[in-house]
Amino acid sequence: MGKYSEDPLWADIEPLPTDEGGPNPLAAIAYSEEYEETMSYMRAVMAANEYSDRVLELTEDLIDMNPAHYTVWLYRAKTLFHLDKDLREELEWLNETALEHQKNYQIWHHRNLIVDRLDDCEGETEFVEQMFVKDAKNYHVWSYRQWLVKRFGLWETEELEFTERMLREDVRNNSAWNHRWYIVNGREAEGVKGEWDEGLRKRELDFAKNAVGKTPQNQSPWNYLRAIVRTAGVPLASLKEFAEQYASLDRPDSVRSSFALDLLADIFAEEEGGKDKAGKALDLLAAKYDPIRKNYWAYRKSQLGLESSTPEAVVAA
Amino acid sequence: MAILSENGASEEPRLDKARHIKYWTRCLKTLLPHQYTSNDSNRLYLAFFIISALDLLGVLESVPSKEEREDHINWIYHCQHPDGGFRMWPGTDFGVRASKDNAMWDPANIPATYFALASLLLLKDDFSRVRRRGCLEWLPRMQRGDGSFGETCVNGVVEGGMDPRFGYCATGIRFILRGTMSGPLEIEGRSVGDIDVDSFVKCVQLAEAYDGGIADLGFHEPHAGYTFCSLGALAFIDRLEVGDHAHSKRSVATAPTNPSAVISWLAYRQTELTDPDAGIDSEFTAPDDTTDNDPSQKPGVGKIAKIQQKAVTPAHQTAEHSVGISIFDLLVDGAGMSGRTNKVADTCYGFWVGASLHLMKQPTLYDHAAMRRYMLGKTQHPVLGGFGKFPGDVPDLLHGYLGLAALGLSGCEGVKVLEGGMCLSREARERLPLLWKRWDVHDEE
């Protein structure tokens, strides 16, 4: 006896249980009776291609228990469009569902479909920020945010401020750094240049340098700096003076950032006769500042044609 | 540096093989707990984890009987779609009520198909019941104009995200069923078309991020899972560029466009950050000079001082994550892999990152010993067997399997050698040429 079998509204439906085909099925789950019943009604309805209000409720129940059901989401979308439902109400239901199932991606795919059809993103960026309160690095949510920006042309509005807000919360949030990169450089297809614009470049360099100043041992702004100069075609050496504030071969005991040392190794390697200095920086990383990657630092040396040295030898020298 | 015994000698944490076998036997022979209901539509990949874990542990032919293995094979075939390809589970098959009108709601599924074929390979099935022609005819229809693959095709529309998980599984299906033979293929008297390999390569190129990693789409944040799927897919279609001289002269499109940037990004994934609840804002401090800098001390002594330091400053843990935390957590030094920049280690990335470095032909660029210590000392469950996602977590199928797979890459006693690109034992991978021979296709390499 269950919710559907006892409900006169569903009396006309003959449930269709799943057939496992034989003994010893793989990855069989101890389903609740509720799930088994909901699934058998869902299957019966889909087999009959019924698109009705009661089906919407059924899909809600099922999705709540199994949000990864790939065809039920599509079936729900088709039912919504068939009945010409108010899609704003659908978004409200989705808000609750998304907050409950943080890691599910079908929810975001469905939201995409609904908002695209609504042709209006009112309230969406606010909802996204609400999701970030729970997990500021949720991959699906960041992907959705990018889609919103592109679909509704939000480039010029408050996206930069938004990334600044997110980075004030956590300057190590690499997702927020990545989003900033997208906002600055993602419009190439529309003919808007990113880091090639000098004013823009200065603004972004200052922003990243400021973040390094607060957290020298934070890889995100270092990666961002490197990407700016590479994309703009500016020599890597333009970052030398800045990097030397955080790491110097003259003061090997007071390196403040392993990422600065890594960058300096690359800068030295490009200098005439700088390979030995690059090797020293890499040795220092292997021996002292980033020993977990000692094999990687040795590989970097070998890429420069330098012999690798054992950490013990470096320290003794 | 592992656990200190009473006499001060150190001892590496070990694989508790008996407990892992017990865990996977339970997964195979009893119902999975109801918490897996939300993964009901992923059952074929859960099935693959169970079968492949038992294979990696060397007990696939002793834990289930011959009859049971036959039943398992039959269940996989029960999930096969009448037109080729597989469903994730029998839940979309309408059985006696199936008709032309409702066929659209019962599509074959790309990941299900890869995991079904891989599981059949592990179970030493002869593939005679695989609808090979139908499957290979369906495959190109699952590719979109931009080169990406979807999950299912419903009513002529390719559905599902555009991410490389589907590209990985699609190219994996192609690899199992036709090796690396490209172009039209004659099967059962019909010419079967191929996927558009070049446009898929382009898709991966567009997803290479500004910091060297690979994302699902252009401008998305790079992610170790997507990086593995992209590299693995390129390997399946023989278009992977690893940056050595042998490949650089090739005239066909390859990816990634900057192999050394990818390698560097991957090397940076190894991290000593293990606590998902702790802020990672503690400022960088150079290691204590008196321990790490004195060459007269024996290797490892510095590490001991570090362990003691850790013991007096317990990591931040919420109550939830403190439950069942292993005592090893405070004693064992180790470094697992993170999936993205500035995130903490997680068991599954040991596989995604490790296998990616193997694919890039740089398997020694990470610290295998530190990685084993992280997994065996911190995320291996001391009572239930299996691996959790983070230290102290209860085990689950995904992390339990990918943990073993990562160890299979690192050379761990008791785990078979892993073929990183296919995420199954090398022993099973080596059975593929026998199938290819029968189908008269071959690996072009």
CB of A28 within 8 Å of any CB in chain B?
Answer: yes
* pLDDT at site B444: 57
pLDDT at B277: 67
Would the pLDDT of B282 be above 80?
no
R_g of chain B, CA atoms, integer Å: 23
- List, for residues B115-139, the tens digit of each pLDDT value: 999 999 999 999 999 999 999 999 9
How far is the CA of A138 from the CAs of A99, A122, A141, B210, in angstroms? Answer: 11, 21, 5, 19
B172-190: burial string, b at 16+ Cβ within 10 Å, e else: bbbbbbbbbbeeebebeee
- Candidate from A71, A142, A173 with C-beta closest to B105: A71
Could A220 and B342 be called an inter-chain contact, meaning their C-beta atoms sit closer than 8 Å?
yes
Contacts of A157 (CB under 8 A, 6+ apart): none
pLDDT score recorded for residue B10: 61
Chain A contact set for B42 (CB, 8 A) = 68
Kindly state the helix (H) or strand (E) to which residue A60 belongs, with its residue range: helix A53-65
> Quick one: average pLDDT of B107-112?
98
Q: A97 — contact with chain B (CB < 8 Å)?
A: no
> What does the pLDDT average to over B233-245?
92
Q: How confident is the model at residue B321 (pLDDT cuts 50, 70, 90)?
A: very low
Q: Give CA B34 to chain center in angstroms.
A: 24
- Is A109:A73 a contact under the CB 8 Å cutoff? yes
Q: Place A192 in a pLDDT band, splitting at 50, 70 and 90.
A: confident
Contact list in A for residue B28 (CB cut-off 8 A) is 26
Res. B326: pLDDT tops 60? no
pLDDT of residue B310: 34
pLDDT of the residue at B247: 56
Query: Using CB atoms, which residue from A19, A74, A303 is nearest to B159?
Result: A74
Q: What integer is the mean pLDDT of A257-269?
A: 98
> What's the whole-number average pLDDT of chain B?
87
Q: Do A295 and B367 touch (CB under 8 A)?
A: yes
**Does A172 lie at the interface with B, CB-CB under 8 angstroms?**
yes
For range B220-236, the mean pLDDT? 98
- B184 to chain A nearest CA, in Å? 31
pLDDT in tens, A212-242: 999 999 999 999 999 999 999 999 999 999 9
| Rounded distance between C-alpha atoms, residue B95 and residue B84, angstroms | 16
| Confidence check: pLDDT of B297 > 90 | no
* Interchain contact, A178 vs B107, CB within 8 Å: no
Burial group, residue B90, by CB count within 10 angstroms (0-12, 13-18, 19+)? middle
Q: What is the 3-state secondary structure (H, E, C) of B69-90?
A: HHHHHHHHHHCECCCCCECCCH
Q: Which of A198-202, A282-286, B302-306, B323-327 has the highest mean pLDDT?
A: A282-286
User: Cα A146 to chain center, whole Å?
Assistant: 10
Say which of B76, B221, B267 has its CB closest to residue A296.
B267
d(CA A263, CA A223): 10
pLDDT of residue B176: 98
- The whole-number pLDDT of residue B249 equals 64
Q: How confident is the model at residue A156 (pLDDT cuts 50, 70, 90)?
A: confident
* Chain A residues lying within 8 Å of B220, measured CB to CB: 139, 142-143, 146, 178
Residues of A with a known catalytic role: 103
Average pLDDT over residues A129-141: 94
Round to whole Å and give the CA distance between B218 and B148: 12
Contacts of B1 in chain A (CB under 8 A): none
Please judge whether A46 and B51 are an interchain contact, meaning their C-beta atoms are less than 8 angstroms apart: no
Specify which residues B191 forms β-bridges with: B186
Give me the pLDDT at residue B274, please. Answer: 80
The yes-or-no verdict on residue B173 having pLDDT over 90 is yes
Please tell me the predicted confidence (pLDDT) of residue B292. Answer: 36
φ, ψ of residue B3 to 5 degrees: the values are -100, 140
- Residue whose entry in the numeric block shows the structure tokens 């920020």: A129
Tokens 């880091």, residue?
A: A195
Query: Contact B280/A172, CB-based, under 8 Å?
Result: yes
In this prediction, residue B290 carries a pLDDT of 33
Q: How far is CA B49 from the centre of its chain?
A: 10
pLDDT at B193 over 90: yes
Say which of A26, A137, A142 has its CB closest to residue B75: A26
Q: How far apart are CA A101 and CA B414, in angstroms?
A: 37
Q: What is the pLDDT of residue B275?
A: 76
Q: Tell me, rounded to whole angstroms, the distance of Cα B123 from its chain centroid.
A: 19
Please judge whether B106 and A71 are an interchain contact, meaning their C-beta atoms are less than 8 angstroms apart: yes
How far is B417 from B413, CA to CA, in rounded Å? 10
| Mean pLDDT of the region B396-406 | 98
Pick B95's closest partner by Cβ from A19, A24, A291: A19
Percent of chain B with pLDDT over 90: 79
Q: What's the rounded Cα separation, in Å, for the pair A195 and A174?
A: 19
Q: How confident is the model at residue A88 (pLDDT cuts 50, 70, 90)?
A: very high
A residues 112-131 lying closer than 8 A (beta carbon) to B: none
Average pLDDT rounded to a whole number, residues B64-83: 98
A70–B88 C-beta distance less than 8 A:
yes
pLDDT at B414 > cutoff 60: yes
CA distance A147 to chain B (A): 10
CA angle B266, B271, B274 (to 5 degrees): 135
Asked if residue B387 has pLDDT above 60, the reply is: yes
Q: Which residues does chain B have within 8 Å of residue A48's beta carbon, measured at their own beta carbons?
A: 97, 102
| B151-161 average pLDDT score | 93
ipTM of the complex: 0.95
Does B313 score more than 50 pLDDT?
no
Least confident of A71-80, A137-146, A150-159, B46-55: A150-159
Residue A43 has pLDDT above 90, yes or no: yes
The tokens for B37 are: 């209901």
Q: Measured between CB atoms, does A217 come within 8 Å of chain B?
A: yes
A189 confidence band (pLDDT: 50, 70, 90): confident
Least reliable range by pLDDT among B142-156, B173-187, B301-315: B301-315
| B309 pLDDT more than 50 | no
Question: What is the reported pLDDT for B294?
Answer: 36
What average pLDDT does the segment B343-368 reach? 97
Is A107 or B302 the better-scoring residue by pLDDT?
Answer: A107
